[in-house]
Structure 1
Amino acid sequence: MKNSILKRSIIVISILLLIICAFSCVYAADENPSEVTMETLSKNGIVVHYPSNWGYSESTSNYSFMALSKLSSIDSFGVGQVNINFEKKPIEGEFYSFVNDTYRSMQKDSSFELISSGGLMISNIDAVEYIYTSTENGVEREHKAVWFEKGGQAYVMMYSAPTADFENDLYIFDYMLSDIQVT
């Protein structure tokens, strides 16, 4: 019994340290940390918290219901080059088959390269993660997409950035993913 309590305590402490570290990273990334605050956005049963040096932006996807971008990366069309996009699509068939078929069809494009895929949990929901690269208009981008099912719909939260910039802001996506609320 003591081992069980000890293991739970270690897990809780580890989670708290990760959250503290994520907040520290958000503040450390900005030149003037006193000006960065945490903002909240809620739409379609999804609640996320993000740093104020990110903001709402346009999306190029027809399925998008919410898009956030690093403010300094938003172009003249309002689309962020470093962004986190939230999409919702009707599921055709079984969820995992639907998601896997999506990436199987993308692999027909020679500019698509799958880096990794696997399962994870977000907000106590089973999810699937895909990390891949693609090239569009001569720009290679890296993407991290996390899919989950809610109410017969497939939801995806996807971080995308030019390959050279991908690692710089990945911690923002990872923090948002660890803190997401699905209602």
Structure 2
Amino acid sequence: MNKIIPIVAAAVILLVVAVSGCVTNEDKNNQTNSYSANGVSFQYPHSWGVATLSSPNGVVAVGDPNTVVNGNPTTSVVIQKANATASSGLKYAYDQNYANFFNNTGKTKVSEAQLTLNGATVYENVYTSSEEGVAKKYRAVWLQKGSTIYVILCSARTEAYDSQQTNFDLVINSFQAS
């Protein structure tokens, strides 16, 4: 019996060390960067960086530099201002944008939803597309801050999309506009 107690104690110590190592690694994975300029602010993954912005009405883009193809990250989030004005209403702007969006464009709708984010109604459209030989999945979240309508466009290669949801949620849930 006296020989079992030291073995149990050693096992408990090893378990504590193993768990603390996992917590330390998890904390490193949860580190974030902050973006604050152009009237918006948000958090994004520590390993990502600010990317070159090439989209119309773009405010800022962040992306994973480990996924660059043809000069652009395939995993990214782009913040855009919608072409519509807030006076016409968020839902109207969203509906107008997608009225013909999927007609003969090579884009395929996966889902759409009305959600609540930080107490406000937002609209989400998920779709797939293949551009320059890269099959990607997109998540467009439409929201209104003050008198401006923003679109947070998250994208990744189709096979990597599901694993990026935590990173996309980080940007979306922390998004603020002044």
User: Which bracket does the TM-score occupy, shorter chain normalised?
Assistant: 0.7 to 0.9
Deviation at 1:108, TM superposition (A): 0.8
- CA change 1:152–1:111 in 2 (3 A) is same
> What residue is the counterpart of 1:11 in the other structure?
none
For 1:55-74, list aligned pairs within 5 A: 55-74=49-68
Tell me if structure 1 keeps the 8 A contact 2:47–2:64. yes
Task: Give, in whole Å, the separation in 2 of the partners of 1:125 and 1:168.
Answer: 26
TM-score, length-scaled by structure 2: 0.75
Matched, 1:154 2:117: no
> What residue is the counterpart of 2:119 in the other structure?
124
- CA change 1:121–1:43 in 2 (3 A) is farther
User: Sequence identity, in percent?
Assistant: 22
TM-score, length-scaled by structure 1: 0.73
Task: Give, in whole Å, the separation in 2 of the partners of 1:148 and 1:36.
Answer: 25
- Cα displacement string for residues 80-127 of structure 1 (whole angstroms, at most 9, x for unaligned residues): 111001001241533212211211221112511111111112233221
> What residue is the counterpart of 2:45 in the other structure?
51
For 1:1-183, list aligned pairs within 5 A: 28=26, 34=28, 37-75=31-69, 77=71, 79-91=72-84, 93-183=88-178
Higher fraction of helix: 1
Say how many residue pairs are matched: 153
Deviation at 1:35, TM superposition (A): 8.0
Tell me if structure 2 keeps the 8 A contact 1:91–1:152. no
- CA change 1:34–1:89 in 2 (3 A) is closer
For the residue of structure 2 that corresponds to 1:177, the secondary structure is helix
Task: Give, in whole Å, the separation in 1 of the partners of 2:109 and 2:70.
Answer: 30
For the residue of structure 2 that corresponds to 1:165, the secondary structure is coil
- Cα displacement string for residues 13-58 of structure 1 (whole angstroms, at most 9, x for unaligned residues): xxxxxxxxxxx9xx65xxxx64873211013432211222011001
Unaligned runs of 5+ in 2: 1-21
CA RMSD, Structure 1 to Structure 2 (Å): 2.3
Unaligned runs of 5+ in 1: 1-23
> What residue is the counterpart of 1:9 in the other structure?
none
Tell me if structure 2 keeps the 8 A contact 1:129–1:144. yes
